[in-house]
Structure 1
Amino acid sequence: MAVETFLSRPALFRRRLFGLLLLLAGATSPGAAVADGASFAGQWQQVASGTGECETCWVEIRRNGPVLKVIGKDGWFAVAHLGRIDGGDSAEGIGRWSEGGTSHYRSKPFDIRIAIADKRLYMDMSVQMDDGSKRMVRAIFDKRRTEKSMRLLPVRM
Structure 2
Amino acid sequence: MKLLGGAGVFVLLVLVFTGAARADDYTFAGQWRQTVSTAGRCDDCYIGIVMHGEVLTVTSNNGWEAVLNIQSLVGRDFAVGTGHWKATVGGAYGGKHFDIQLVRSGANLQMFMVVSQEKGAPISLRATFEKGRPLKNSRYVSPVEIYWI
Deviations 1:99-132 (A, max 9, x none): 1132320010100000101111000000001205
Determine the structure 2 residue equivalent to 1:135: 123
Contact 2:26 2:104 in 1 (8 A): no
List structure 1 runs of 4+ shifted beyond 3 angstroms.
none
Q: Which amino acid aligns with 2:113?
A: M
Higher relative contact order (CA 8 A, sep 6+): 2
Task: Tell whether 2:47 aligns with 1:52.
Answer: no
TM-score relative to the length of structure 2: 0.70
Task: Tell whether 2:72 aligns with 1:84.
Answer: yes
Report matched runs for 1:72-111 at 5 Å. 72-111=60-99
The equivalent position to 2:55 in structure 1, one of 48, 53, 67, is 67
Q: Which amino acid aligns with 1:156?
A: P
Tell me the C-alpha RMSD between the 2 structures. Answer: 2.5
Paired residue total: 117
Contact 1:112 1:125 in 2 (8 A): yes
In 2, the alpha carbon distance for the partners of 1:102 and 1:126 equals 17
Shift of 1:146: 7.7
From the CA coordinates, give the structure whose radius of gyration is larger. 2
Shift of 1:73: 1.2
In 2, the alpha carbon distance for the partners of 1:146 and 1:137 equals 21
In 1, the alpha carbon distance for the partners of 2:84 and 2:124 equals 14
Contact 2:113 2:125 in 1 (8 A): yes
TM-score relative to the length of structure 1: 0.67
In 2, the alpha carbon distance for the partners of 1:95 and 1:77 equals 5
Contact 1:108 1:127 in 2 (8 A): yes
Deviations 1:36-57 (A, max 9, x none): x961010000010111111000
